[in-house]
């Protein structure tokens, strides 16, 4: 039987809001490329109704879902089994509804590191990294950043106690990989970093870069996890100080590919999907910012 003979397996992205999400488009591109029979939609869950929305979706025969703001922590609780990277992050962005229970994974970190090391061709080993933010996105990526073995990662956040708690929860992994971890307030961010990653929602709030430009040096790779027009302020700031700016579109496509692989057991080629999304966004298609 070919993939065209059987009904498509159903998946969706669940969030609030969710109408801006580019994930249905990305998974449609992956399905077309791989020949996998997949039907991927959007599910708007009420703020107090994530669990009932997902349970109804699964009961209807769906095979899994992606989870976006603000439900990644609730998804972590709902999963009966979790991958080690989801355990470390304390957040789940991908659920798989297996017959013997629900699996939770977090693909954000692998998506970011793949985008930086492969798409942006910037191997992280031995580098000085600055991670801005200590919310769900920062928690999702810190483990994968450590596994890439930079020399040092400094986490800075508007609320410094959250940066310090995030570093504490990753201390053992940092030691195991020989990576120095530190935390600080935004104002105390270290100067002249090799890679600066804005995982805060400052761009969403329209406030651009939340740290002083001394964190940059010529050639710094400065990444905002946002994409579309909202990321432009950060990218302009990076360019104005001699850094190489990069938005979060590559991470979005790469984390989707990881989720696709978690569900279907095969990894799509991300380059054509990223090129298509980039072209669509530059045509002014969407102001998207999240998975
Ligand atoms: P959370 O709400 O969990 O955390 C927000 C973080 O941003 C906190 O650390 C908060 O600090 C900080 N923050 C908020 N406003 C400001 C500001 N004006 N100045 C400085 N810091 C601020 O959000 P997430 O972590 O889930 O998401 C963060 C960003 O990452 C979003 O923009 C999201 O779109 C993006 N993202 C992109 C993905 C992609 O695939 N490209 C995937 C996942 C997320 P405090 O602790 O003090 O409140």
pLDDT value for 49: 98
Ligand 1, from 136, 137, 259: best to mutate by most atoms within 8 Å of Cβ? 137
**Residue nearest ligand 1's atom 14 by CA:** 201
pLDDT value for 284: 54
Which residues are annotated as catalytic?
A: 72
pLDDT value for 203: 86
pLDDT value for 1: 39
pLDDT value for 287: 42
Identify the three-state secondary structure at position 154: strand
248 Cβ closer than 6 Å to some ligand 1 atom: yes
pLDDT value for 207: 78
User: If you measure from the C-alpha of residue 225 to the centroid of ligand 1, how many angstroms do you get, rounded to a whole number?
Assistant: 9
**Residue nearest ligand 1's atom 3 by CA:** 135
pLDDT value for 5: 64
Residue among 20, 10, 17, 16 at smallest CA distance from 252: 20
**Residue nearest ligand 1's atom 8 by CA:** 135
Q: Is 215 exposed, middle or buried (0-12, 13-18, 19+ CB in 10 A)?
A: buried
Q: Residue 104 is encoded by which pair of tokens? A: 């939770």
Question: How many CB atoms lie under 10 A from the CB of residue 153?
Answer: 26
Residue among 30, 6, 19, 1 at smallest CA distance from 263: 30
> What tens-digit pLDDT sequence spans the chain (291 residues)?
344 567 899 999 999 999 999 999 999 999 999 999 999 999 999 999 999 999 999 999 999 999 998 999 999 999 999 999 999 999 999 999 999 999 999 999 999 999 999 999 999 999 999 999 999 899 999 999 999 999 999 999 999 999 999 999 999 999 999 999 999 999 999 999 999 999 999 988 887 799 999 999 999 999 999 999 999 999 999 999 999 999 999 999 999 999 999 999 999 999 999 999 999 988 754 444 445
Per the CB < 8 A criterion, the answer to whether 274 and 4 are in contact is no
Rounded to 5°, angle at Cα 254 from 11 and 33: 65
The H helix count followed by the E strand count for the chain is: 11, 12
Residue among 115, 156, 154, 153 at smallest CA distance from 135: 156
């Amino acid at each position: 039987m070919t993939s065209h003979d059987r009904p498509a397996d159903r998946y969706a992205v669940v969030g609030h809001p969710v109408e801006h999400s580019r994930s249905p488009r990305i998974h449609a591109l992956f399905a077309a490329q791989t020949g996998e029979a997949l039907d991927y939609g959007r599910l708007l869950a009420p703020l107090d109704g994530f669990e009932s929305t997902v349970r109804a979706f699964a009961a209807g025969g769906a095979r899994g879902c992606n989870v976006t703001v603000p439900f990644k922590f609730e998804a972590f609780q709902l999963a009966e089994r979790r991958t080690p990277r989801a355990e470390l992050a304390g957040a789940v962005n991908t659920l798989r509804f297996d017959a013997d229970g629900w699996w939770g994974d977090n693909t954000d970190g692998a998506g970011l590191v793949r985008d930086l090391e492969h798409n942006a061709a910037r191997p992280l080993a031995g580098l000085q990294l600055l991670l801005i933010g200590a919310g769900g996105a920062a928690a999702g990526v810190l483990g994968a950043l450590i596994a890439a073995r930079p020399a040092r990662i400094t986490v800075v956040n508007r609320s410094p106690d959250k940066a310090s708690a995030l570093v504490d929860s990753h201390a053992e992994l940092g030691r195991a990989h020989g990576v120095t971890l530190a935390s600080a307030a935004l104002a105390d961010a270290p100067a002249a970093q090799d890679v600066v990653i804005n995982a805060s929602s400052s761009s969403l709030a329209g406030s651009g870069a939340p740290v002083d430009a001394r964190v940059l040096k010529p050639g710094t790779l400065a990444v905002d996890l946002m994409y579309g027009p909202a990321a432009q302020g950060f990218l302009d700031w990076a360019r104005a100080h001699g850094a190489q700016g990069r938005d979060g579109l590559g991470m979005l496509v790469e984390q989707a590919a990881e989720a696709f692989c978690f569900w279907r057991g095969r990894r799509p080629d991300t380059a054509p999907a990223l090129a298509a999304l980039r072209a669509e966004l530059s045509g002014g298609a969407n102001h998207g910012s999240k998975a």
